[in-house]
Structure 1
Amino acid sequence: MKLIILVAALLLSHAPAAVAAAPICTTTTSLGTVAGRVAGGLCVYRGIRYADAPRSQPPVPAKPWHGTFQATDTSAVCPQFRDSISEEYPDDRPVYLDEDCLRLNVWAPRTPGRHPVIVFIHGGAARFGTAGEPRYDGSGLARDAVVVTINYRLGLLGANNLFLRDQITALDWVRDHIGSFGGDAGNVTAMGESEGAFSLSAMLATDHPQRLFRRVVLQSGSGYLVHSKPQQHVDLTGMSTLQVLQRQEELVGTQPLTGAVYFGPHVDGDLVRQPVIDAVEAGNARGVDVLIGSNRDEIAYFAQFDPSIAHLTPEQYRVFFPAELNLDKVAAAYPDGPGKSLEMLTDQTMRVPATRLAQAQARWARSYLYQFDWGPAVHTAELPFVFGTLSFTGIAGGAEAFHANPGAARALSAGMRHAWTSFARTGDPGWPQYRQGRATRIWDTPSRLAFAPREAERAAWDDYDFRFFQ
């Protein structure tokens, strides 16, 4: 008997130690208890349902649940075909078909107090992307704020401003429940990039946008890219999710520039009542601080989908140019060279509309302008720096530029994150407001402050009202 006990003791002494369970953190909302995971000094909650998405109907806010919701799921992706170039997915499926996808993620500091809140709306031409992409990890911003990223319906499933209603429902959820995560519901900054910025711009033309957020960050997108009318109506009755996606791609076609703006918010007279610039000029968003900007070479991004875009001729550009403007007169303000048409199209779609919105809102609240000039400086290139993930998916030449001087790039990221969180906390990102001589923060290595940069090119567009993109 003693021998058996001795052997058992020896075996136990050499047994591997039990693996400690990952630490959890919990909070209780009015809907129920939520359990997340501890990550450093943060509590991270993933895959929280904020609404249901009945086909072709407005979202239905989530109902209370029993027990504890385990918020650890990173797999929710709204229906889409895989875009292997510019998105980061949770697995390698070629297509995602689950319409039950209205989920959000929360990164919350574990320190006590009421923290400012940043809600991020991802881009992706309203056809691609998901809130759970690693490049949108909120950890780098959540040291100074509660960070939320959201999914919303895409393409035909989100048409007729349904995707905009999804986003608004998510912002309503934040207002009602973010206090349970340590967030200050009275100090919400909504941040969007590309399609996310188009969407937030459209919200500035809804009734009382102040109910949704105190501040807004618009990265590479403005109200100019909010459509004047809805896209072609398609009856989805009886169609499978896969058939919906196939029909969607038939409608969009293969041209990457037009495909990037085919879907999106539109003025419907109900939710979005008028053109965004008209609403902003009239003070519809009074009191909402705005931080808006663009990247130096936005349109060059699309050359990875169609290399001919890198050599866009003036005649090819004319298809996108406003019919009521004199192309030769506008073009005369730009230096001649092989990239002239791309530079003009970047100014037309992104930079100059951003200056118009900053100028219009300056009468009603604080407004600030930036331009991102680092490295390739194409569309989406600022995202790795704002989140601090330094993930260059979809940014041709981005990784190479980073490795050429990683220390400077990391310092640039730290500076941008400090500016964004400072803006979320106080409404001041750290440079003068746009109304002070068209002040513009140029993000680069090193960064600098400029007043009225490239003024001749900006002024060349003065005869155009920028209400709607052609």
Structure 2
Amino acid sequence: MFRSLRLPISLPAALAVAGAAMTPAVPATASTASTAGAAGGTACVTRTSLGVVSGTATDGLCAFRGIPYAQPPVGRLRFRPPRPVSPWRGTLKAVDGTRVCPQGRDQMSEDYPDDRKVYTDEDCLHLNVWTPKPDRSKRPVIVFIHGGAAAYGTGNEPRYDGTNLATRGDAVVVSLNYRLGLLGWAELGGLDPAYRGSGNNGLRDQIAALGWVRDHVADFGGDPANVTVVGESAGAFSISAMLATDHPERLFRRAVLQSGSGALVHTAAFERKLASTLPGRDLAALRTMPVAELLRVQEKAVAAFPGAAGHALYFGPYVDGTLVRDTVTKRVKAGNARGIDLLIGTDRDEMNFFGQYSKDGLGTLAEQYDAFFPKELAARRARMTEVYRRDRTKQAAALAMFTDQGMRVPALRLAEAQSRWRPTYVYQFDWAPPKGVGAVHTIELPFMFGTLRFVGVQGGPEALRTDRARLTTLSAQMVDAWASFARTGDPDARRTVPRPAWPAYRMPRRATMIWDLSPRVADDPRGHERALWDGVPFDGAYL
């Protein structure tokens, strides 16, 4: 997810490919493997090339929480690329679902696993696995990368619990943590060439976790040749950046991008601008600074950047020319991701999320849009506004344009590019709580996970209390679609809950699944508004 708004333009600098494979042993709890009954009567224990791992039986499947996928990035490894973990002795008890990478608590939009106000433990590069059974069944694998503006959130949020996806889809589900804020996304190569590329370390963490999945998921009942990576907001930006790396098909076979596309992957010029706002610019101090103090430095750095979007996109992946080779749509259009099936979509009222909890927040947000409208389109603006005003108030029109510029149209542009090469599916999520402010950013998450936890969605909990049956059905339809796509590349291949068929996205039809209490397919929804943005490259330069 973004955060309070202050949209940048892009982010990069330089980068160097990570170094050597380490040795500090991973902290593991040696003990006798648990023999408690799990799914199918099998113990939740498996043997990997790193060592034995035990989990817990829950809801008819096995959950393994807190498995390290990289060495703790502490001490000399702070600001360095992730290093592989070392084997452990005895049995690693994977029962810790509380690790959160360093951040101050965001009470508005994150669903934390406990009530801590500040998280300061850098030893957070862990992942979770839910599986019907740790056997050799070669189930499809779904790997989720959380959002949070690359500064907040965790794979341990209860709303990201993989139980429903694993059960309904007969799939192995993985969620993961990655370094956030300055620790994961600060480009320090300008201070010391040895740290060139540190601004993509959060992305490297995610790639390292996908490497762990490739090497070890078979031990948990998954098929390493059938991995689907799913990301929301900053997680989707990150996956988009991976589509511009060399041979992304080696990391995953399919991708689901929710509320995020390559337009929000930063450029090199903007990365250098962000690096210049770092207070003090003293690398030695940053390397040894206590985490709580580093978080305060981080807040100062974000506050120093002018604009109206606050933490929204200050941190994130960038085009460094080494790992992320070029802008995403350009690379995808050229066939760089030709081996990957794509499912991509947005929420109808994405930007309303940022104005839902303050007095006249939507009005303030609409006024802020002036600062983000592309100057290159100034001559078109009056005409564009006229089109958006046909069935909206002035405020609603500005917010709709903000959503289309920031999210919907760039996602469609990426879908167009990839549909030339592989099956591509597009959705728009339209359901909104009766007492909320629309189908806002993040609103699809409780449905696609099947948890129905409406954190950060005004009116969501009340809507669930009064309309649980219909919301549960909508969730089941989405869980089935996501799981079917992960299994086969086709969201319709295993429809167990009735809904309309979902055609692939192709020109000129542009078939789009509209998720609502009565899902439907629309051809090129609001196409007259989409077409107004033709000619805008959406390569990171318009936000």
Give the TM-score taking structure 1 as reference length.
0.93
What is the aligned counterpart of 1:302 among 326, 330, 354? 354
The residue that corresponds to 1:247 in the other structure is: 297
Query: Given the alignment of the two structures, is residue 114 of structure 1 paired with residue 138 of structure 2, yes or no?
Result: yes
Letter in 2 for 1:316: Q
Alpha-carbon shift at residue 243 of structure 1 (Å)? 1.3
* 1:256 and 1:306 in contact (8 A); partners too: no
Residue deviations 1:57-77 (CA, integer Å, cap 9, x gap): 000111111111000001211
The residue that corresponds to 2:266 in the other structure is: 227
Query: Given the alignment of the two structures, is residue 266 of structure 1 paired with residue 289 of structure 2, yes or no?
Result: no
The residue that corresponds to 1:455 in the other structure is: 527
The residue that corresponds to 2:340 in the other structure is: 288
* 1:256 and 1:302 in contact (8 A); partners too: no
Q: 1:307 to 1:457 in 2, by over 3 A?
A: farther
Alpha-carbon shift at residue 328 of structure 1 (Å)? 1.8
* 2:141 and 2:223 in contact (8 A); partners too: yes
Q: 1:393 to 1:432 in 2, by over 3 A?
A: same
Query: Given the alignment of the two structures, is residue 217 of structure 1 paired with residue 256 of structure 2, yes or no?
Result: yes
The residue that corresponds to 2:396 in the other structure is: 339
The residue that corresponds to 2:475 in the other structure is: 413
Alpha-carbon shift at residue 50 of structure 1 (Å)? 0.2
Residue deviations 1:210-268 (CA, integer Å, cap 9, x gap): 01000000000000000112231543233211111001111222977342111111111
**What fraction of aligned residue pairs are identical, expressed as a percent?**
56
Query: Given the alignment of the two structures, is residue 397 of structure 1 paired with residue 468 of structure 2, yes or no?
Result: no
Alpha-carbon shift at residue 317 of structure 1 (Å)? 1.2
* 2:178 and 2:205 in contact (8 A); partners too: yes
**Cα RMSD (Å) of the superposition?**
1.7
Partner SS, residue 55 of structure 2: strand
The residue that corresponds to 1:381 in the other structure is: 443
Larger Rg: 1
* 2:136 and 2:222 in contact (8 A); partners too: no
Q: How is 1:338-377 mapped onto 2 (pairs within 5 angstroms)?
A: 338-375=395-432, 376-377=438-439
Alpha-carbon shift at residue 307 of structure 1 (Å)? 4.2
Distance 1:297 1:314 in 2: 13
The residue that corresponds to 2:383 in the other structure is: 329
* 2:136 and 2:219 in contact (8 A); partners too: no
What is the aligned counterpart of 2:101 among 60, 63, 78? 78
The residue that corresponds to 2:288 in the other structure is: 238
* 2:346 and 2:408 in contact (8 A); partners too: yes
Partner SS, residue 238 of structure 2: helix
Query: Given the alignment of the two structures, is residue 141 of structure 1 paired with residue 200 of structure 2, yes or no?
Result: no
* 2:355 and 2:365 in contact (8 A); partners too: no
Alpha-carbon shift at residue 305 of structure 1 (Å)? 5.3
* 2:37 and 2:44 in contact (8 A); partners too: no
Distance 1:151 1:446 in 2: 35
Letter in 2 for 1:31: L
What is the aligned counterpart of 2:177 among 148, 151, 172? 151
Residue deviations 1:344-389 (CA, integer Å, cap 9, x gap): 1001111101110011001111111000001131000000000000
The residue that corresponds to 1:125 in the other structure is: 149
The residue that corresponds to 2:59 in the other structure is: 40
Residue deviations 1:385-443 (CA, integer Å, cap 9, x gap): 00000000111111222233211110000000000000000101121111051000000
Deviates more, 1:212-221 or 1:223-232: 223-232
Residue deviations 1:98-119 (CA, integer Å, cap 9, x gap): 0010000000112761100000
* 2:136 and 2:218 in contact (8 A); partners too: no
Alpha-carbon shift at residue 149 of structure 1 (Å)? 0.1
Residue deviations 1:111-142 (CA, integer Å, cap 9, x gap): 76110000000000111111111110000100
Deviates more, 1:80-89 or 1:134-143: 80-89
Query: Given the alignment of the two structures, is residue 174 of structure 1 paired with residue 213 of structure 2, yes or no?
Result: yes
Partner SS, residue 226 of structure 2: strand
* 2:69 and 2:84 in contact (8 A); partners too: yes
- Which structure 1 segments of 5+ residues have no match? 1-19
Distance 2:288 2:138 in 1: 47
The residue that corresponds to 2:505 in the other structure is: 434
The residue that corresponds to 2:49 in the other structure is: 30
The residue that corresponds to 1:4 in the other structure is: none
Residue deviations 1:37-80 (CA, integer Å, cap 9, x gap): 11132110000000022201000111111111000001211000
Partner SS, residue 440 of structure 1: strand
Letter in 2 for 1:413: S
Distance 1:44 1:68 in 2: 15
Partner SS, residue 205 of structure 2: helix
Q: 1:55 to 1:365 in 2, by over 3 A?
A: same
Distance 1:224 1:306 in 2: 28
Distance 2:225 2:359 in 1: 46
Distance 2:262 2:206 in 1: 16
Residue deviations 1:278-317 (CA, integer Å, cap 9, x gap): 0000101012000000001111111145544401476531
Distance 2:535 2:104 in 1: 40
Partner SS, residue 237 of structure 1: helix
Distance 2:470 2:234 in 1: 29
Deviates more, 1:253-262 or 1:201-210: 253-262
Partner SS, residue 49 of structure 2: coil
Distance 1:455 1:271 in 2: 35
Distance 2:130 2:452 in 1: 18
Letter in 1 for 2:355: A
Q: 1:25 to 1:55 in 2, by over 3 A?
A: same
Letter in 2 for 1:120: F
Partner SS, residue 452 of structure 2: coil
Q: Does 1 or 2 have the higher relative contact order (CA < 8 Å, sep 6+)? A: 2
